[in-house]
Amino acid sequence: MKLSNLLIRPYQEEDWPFVWAIIKPVFRAGETYAFSTDISEEEARQVWIKKSEVTFVAFGEDEEILGTYYIKPNQPTLGAHVCNCGYIVSEQVRGRGIASAMCKHSQKEAVTRGYRAMQYNLVVSTNEIAVVLWKKLGFEIIGTLPEAFRHARLGYVDAHVMYKPLV
């Protein structure tokens, strides 16, 4: 069942407890993001909010935050025309089109901010739902890094670099 009336807006400081509640279990699981499974709340805030150019939240009609994403330059200066994004959807509402909506929103936002392309540096190969979704949204696997991710349950698994021109 798809979520209707999803709204996406820039992150506000008062959103942090809700964002942390969404990203914490994902980081703790050690299955899709390369951050330590025991990352502190402050370290998570630094990587998700402070080191990003901009962070967004997605919410429904009841204003409950259902997902979040960030945009940041993939590289400094001479590589800063390519952005990188990270997306996380609340476990309770996965499979309802929120990640797709946030990815589409991020692409428009990236173009507005002057980015020419979007690159995902470490898409864990076992995260098949994400790989399929990103391909559906126009991203290509431009490289596979053998055993580049140490999955909490599966050990060393491959990771993909995925890329999409925006202009």
Other beta carbons within 10 angstroms of residue 143's beta carbon come to 11
Q: Which residues span the domain enclosing 35?
A: 7-120
Would you call 100 exposed, middle or buried from its count of C-beta atoms within 10 A (0-12, 13-18, 19+)?
middle
pLDDT value at 150 more than 60: yes
pLDDT average, residue stretch 23-31: 98
**56 found inside a domain:** yes
- CA dihedral 144→83→151→138, nearest 10 degrees, is -60
Residue 65 lies in a domain: yes
- Please give the pLDDT value at position 61: 85
pLDDT score for 133: 98
7 half-sphere exposure, CB direction, 13 A CA radius: 10
Please, which pLDDT band fits residue 161 given cuts at 50, 70 and 90?
very high
- Domains contained in the chain, number: 1
Pairwise CA distance, residues 38 & 33, whole Å:
12
Report the mean per-residue pLDDT for the chain: 97
Q: Give the count of beta carbons closer than 10 Å to the beta carbon of residue 112.
A: 8
Is residue 49, in this structure, part of any structural domain at all?
yes
pLDDT tens-place string over residues 33-90: 999 999 999 999 999 999 999 999 999 988 999 999 999 999 999 999 999 999 999 9
| 140 within a domain of the structure (yes/no) | no
66: CATH = 3.40.630.30
For residue 1, pLDDT beyond 70: no
Report if residue 87 sits inside a domain: yes
Helix, strand, or coil (residue 85): strand
Burial 54-86 (b: 16+ CB within 10 A, else e): ebbbbbbeeeebbbbbbbebbeeeeeeebbbbb
CA 45: distance to chain centroid? 14
State the Cα–Cα distance between residues 17 and 23, nearest whole angstrom: 10
Q: pTM for the whole thing?
A: 0.96
Structural domain contains residue 126: no
pLDDT in tens, 83-119: 999 999 999 999 999 999 999 999 999 999 999 999 9
* In a domain? residue 62: yes
